[in-house]
Amino acid sequence: MSALETFDRELSQHNDDGKDSWYDSGVVFVGQLAADLTEEDLVGLRDLWPTRPLPWQQHCAEVLGQARHAQTIVLLLDMVDRAFPDAALAALESLRDFDPAMFTDGQRQRVLKSIASAQARPIGKLHHLVLGAFLARLRDDKPDSK
């Protein structure tokens, strides 16, 4: 079984579990599986994720930051743009796992606009704090300030 198939299967199994199970152990286990995804797996995942249920999409977005590839940024930005709000917010928050230097100028601008958009919606205080810290990191690491 490929790494992508294993990742998909485990996310599907945790889709049926309660939230406690996901946050107690699923996020760690599936996060480790995400770290094993290859660039090719991530390309396949880009076609797969829109066909999955919302909880699967959200869990996927929550752990994808552990797949440290340039293709992961592309995938997460796709999720930010096209996923339902909860999954899009999780994808945006996962982007903070990447060094800002990994973003192209265009990606950085998309992330900045997405953060502003997310913060304009009613989201929890923790999400505001996480996105605010991410925004500060992006602004502190401006490409033209080096």
Q: Could you read off the pLDDT of 66-80 as tens digits, one per residue? A: 998 889 999 999 999
Could you report the per-residue pLDDT of 88-135, keeping only the tens digit for each?
Answer: 999 999 999 999 999 999 999 999 999 999 999 899 999 999 999 999
Task: Please tell me the pTM assigned to this model.
Answer: 0.88
Query: Residue 107 has what pLDDT?
Result: 95
DSSP category for residue 64: G
Domain residue ranges in the chain:
3-145
The CB density around residue 120, as the number of other CB atoms within 10 Å, is: 8
